[in-house]
Amino acid sequence: MASPSALDDMFGFISASPSPRHAVVESCRRLRDAGFQSSSAGSLPARGFRARGGSLLAWINAAKPGPVRVVTAHTDSPNLRIKPNPDSTSTGLRQFGVEVYGGALLNSWLDRDLGISGHVVVRHDAQIETRLLRIDRPVLRVPQLAIHLDRDISTKGLLLNRQQNLRPIWGIENDSDEGLADLLAAELDLDAGAILAYELMAHDTLSPARWGWHDEFFASPRIDNQLSCWAAVEALIGADTETPCVVALFDHEEVGSTSATGADSGLLLNLLAELTVDGADHDRSLCISADCAHATHPNYVDRHDAEHQIALNGGPVIKVNANERYATTPLGHALFAEACTAVGSQHQIFVSRTDLACGSTVGPITAARTGLETVDVGIAQLAMHSARESAGAEDPARLLQVLTHLFCP
């Protein structure tokens, strides 16, 4: 069975991180507790970190020469995000308008106990401040239409209109014209007029949990990709090495990575320039792009390539794509596979069916921007992009072990 402590620690990380900014705050807390120093551009403590919105850079051995080891992951996950003018009523019920962030499995957001999280910009004492917000009781719900009123569902499947059918209910209409600003003001102990702007999203308030006869599996929100964020941060904290090592956690992967803090920004590139990794060191450096992989679904075996079946608890997955949807090079592949063997773990290789479009991740983007040898990896999961995903209980600890080993070449 899995090391219970590693899995529980990962549950703690994910539970603390309902939004990308919360994931960064939790990562910073862990790094600070381990002696890392917060730093701004231009200063490079030996063990340091830099947070920017929903993204984070952390490193060790900043001044040491030699090839660098980089692990990247992403803090964001698909979800429902509250619109700027969200308030509406229908049939006596208060509702919020939402946008769909990323490639969410929309059905998975129905009939769930949803909280609200993110950050709010407020005016306080004549200053503009940014406050983290987390409402962890189920204030929102998107009820599914009863089957009696949707007779086509058994033949045509569930069809959801994003504008019309996903609006969460949060209260009953009354004489007051209260809305989201009042709800936020009450939570933040401010006047409603002090709420200026926000980035807020729904999150499932159900905690991560093991499942299966022998607890072989676990279910959790945001396995993609906060599991990899946890493994990257903990591997960096635990690495006993002279090698310069970097962790880069990016926001906005689920919407293409083009943003001021996404993988397509200059964040990682600028840090690598400060580390002065160049010449031969650069050629011997390695970037491990950690993001989740699709386990073979037992009810849909034909969606996978017959020679590349992926098992839960089968060890970390190396992802390969001839069309550079994954950035894995043969050398990166070999180095990662050797690291798995060195820590006593199996590994698996994912290739998409040739007649199915392949997903992607930050690997090709950071590879193109940094020029680093790259391997795209991740742990196997089911129900990727569901509000509640599943994975094998033994795999998170293995990924942590392999990343730690790769930080100590």
Which residues in this chain contact Zn ion in the complex, by CB under 5 A?
224-225, 291
Residue (204 or 253) nearer to Zn ion, CB: 253
Q: How far is the CB of 73 from Zn ion (least distance, A)?
A: 8
Q: How far is the CB of 363 from Zn ion (least distance, A)?
A: 11
Residue type, 313: N
> Which DSSP helix (H) or strand (E) runs through 27?
helix 20-33
Q: How far is the CB of 248 from Zn ion (least distance, A)?
A: 14
Our CA angle for 42, 45, 50, nearest 5°, is 65
Residue (224 or 376) nearer to Zn ion, CB: 224
Residue (120 or 327) nearer to Zn ion, CB: 327
CA distance 261 to 83: 21
Q: E-strand spans in 255-296?
A: 286-290, 293-294
Q: How far is the CB of 40 from Zn ion (least distance, A)?
A: 29
Q: How far is the CB of 253 from Zn ion (least distance, A)?
A: 6
Residue with the two structure tokens 């839960």: 312
Residue (59 or 326) nearer to Zn ion, CB: 326
Q: Residue 326: which region, alpha, beta or left (left: phi > 0; alpha: psi -120 to 50)?
A: beta
Q: How far is the CB of 225 from Zn ion (least distance, A)?
A: 4
> Which DSSP helix (H) or strand (E) runs through 269?
helix 267-275
Residue (225 or 265) nearer to Zn ion, CB: 225
Residue (291 or 389) nearer to Zn ion, CB: 291
Is 386 strand, coil or helix?
Answer: coil
CA distance 242 to 257: 31
Residue type, 32: R
